[in-house]
Amino acid sequence: MDGRVQTWERAWRDALYGQEGFYRLHAPASHFATSAQGVPGGGEVLAQAVVALARRHGCTRLVDVGCGRGEFLRHVRDLDPALRLTGVDVVPAPPDLDVHEWLVAPGGGSLPHDLHDLEDTLVLAHEWLDVVPCPVATRDGQGVWRTVRVDHRGRETAGPPLVGADLGWARTWLPEEVERAEIGRTRDLAFADLVSRVRSGVVLAVDYGHTLTDRPRHGTLTGFRGGREVPAVPDGSCDLTAHVAVDSLGAGTPRGGTDACRLLLQREALIDLLPDPPPAAPVPHELARLEPAAYLAALARRGALAALTARGGPGDFWWVVALVRPDA
C-alpha cells in the first residue's frame, strides 16, 4: 500500500480484494462471527431455514456467494445431501470441502462469468453486500454532497462534489438529516446483477442494514480484525464493512421497483421457516428426566435460535428476498 489519496470506493476495493487484499490472505471466520459461523449451533439453525426456503420454492441447487471457506455449505451438505451446492469466493476451494462446484470471483460486486442461467436455484448472499465497496460522501457547509478521499492510514479529506448517478442516489435515498453516508448504488447494481443470473428460483441477501426511516446520520463504515471492531483503515490489515441500504436494492433489479423484493427481519424469517416454538418458550423439564441427551440438545438449539433472533443482534439482520419465475 502506498501513500496515495484516493476515493474510499477504490481504497476499499484494493484493501479487501487487491493482490494482497484482506480477503485473499485471511479467512473471514478468523476475524468475525456471523449467523452462518461463529454462533454455537447457529450455522445448523440457519442452514435448516435456508433449506426450508429452497424446498418451499422447489429449488434443487444452492449457490453461496461470498462463502468464505465454505463453512455454511458444510452445514447444508450435512442437512440435505441432495442439494447441488456451489460456492463462490475470491479464493480457491478448501481441499476438504465436499461441494459440486466452486467458482472464484474477482471480488467486490463482480461475479464469476460462469455464474449464469441458474434454474431452480436458491442464491444466498450472506453478508456479501456489506463488503461490496461503495463511495463514501459527506455534506459540506453548504449542504453539497462531496466524495470522501482517504489515504492508506485512514486519513480523510473532502473531494469533489458527487455527480451523476451517485448524486441521484443520494438525493433519492438519503434524508436531509444525514450528514455522511455510504452511497449504495454499487450494492444495488451488484444485487441486480445477481438476480439477472437466475432464470428461476430465489435470490436471498442477508445483511445488516437500514431503510429510509432509520438511515444513520454519520454512516456505518468500520473495520474488524481478530474479532474486534477497529478503525476503518484501508491498508489490507482489517475487514472493511458498512451497513446496506436494503430498501434501495429492489430499484435496480431486472423487474424494477422495490416491490420486486420482499424485506423482512431475520427473526421474522426464522419463525416463518422453522417449526420450533418461540425462542423464549422453555424446554420441558420432564424431558431432562426421560431423555437427558435430547434435553441438552434442545437447550443448545433453543440457545442458538435465541441468538439468531435477538433484538439488537442477528435478529435485526435484513432478509431481502427476490423470487424469480421463468415467465418473469
- For residue 293, the Cα-to-chain-centroid distance in whole angstroms is 35
pLDDT in tens, 92-111: 999 999 999 999 999 999 99
> Per the structure block, which three cell numbers stand in for 63?
449457490
Burial category of 60 from C-beta neighbours within 10 Å (exposed 0-12, middle 13-18, buried 19 and up): middle
Which residue in 146, 145, 148 sits closest to 176, CA to CA? 145
> What DSSP character marks residue 267?
H
User: For the chain, how long is the longest CA-to-CA vector?
Assistant: 71
For residue 238, the model assigns a pLDDT of: 95
For residue 260, the model assigns a pLDDT of: 65
- Cell 458527487 sits at which residue? 162
pLDDT in tens, 157-166: 999 999 999 9
Which residue in 185, 186, 9 sits closest to 110, CA to CA? 186
Domains and CATH numbers, the chain: 33-134+184-208+243-273+303-324 (3.40.50.150)
Chain length of the chain: 328
DSSP-based three-state secondary structure for 204: strand
For residue 298, the model assigns a pLDDT of: 65
Contact by Cβ (8 Å): 258, 247: yes
Can you list the positions of beta strands (E) in the chain?
A: 6-7, 61-65, 84-89, 101-104, 121-126, 136-139, 145-150, 156-161, 180-182, 201-207, 209-210, 222-225, 228-230, 239-241, 244-245, 262-265, 318-324
Measured CA to CA in angstroms, residue 130 lies from 199, 219, 223, 287 at distances of: 25, 13, 12, 42
Region of 38 (left: φ > 0; alpha: ψ -120 to 50; beta: rest) is left
With a CB cutoff of 8 Å and minimum separation 6, the contacts of 280 are 306
Contact by Cβ (8 Å): 243, 208: yes
Integer-rounded Cα radius of gyration of the chain: 20
| Spans in the chain with pLDDT lower than 50 | 1, 256-259
For residue 287, the model assigns a pLDDT of: 66
Tally Cβ neighbours within 10 Å of residue 174.
21
Whole-prediction pTM: 0.91
Question: What is the C-alpha to C-alpha distance for residues 250 and 254, in angstroms, rounded to an integer?
Answer: 9
Question: What is the C-alpha to C-alpha distance for residues 23 and 188, in angstroms, rounded to an integer?
Answer: 22
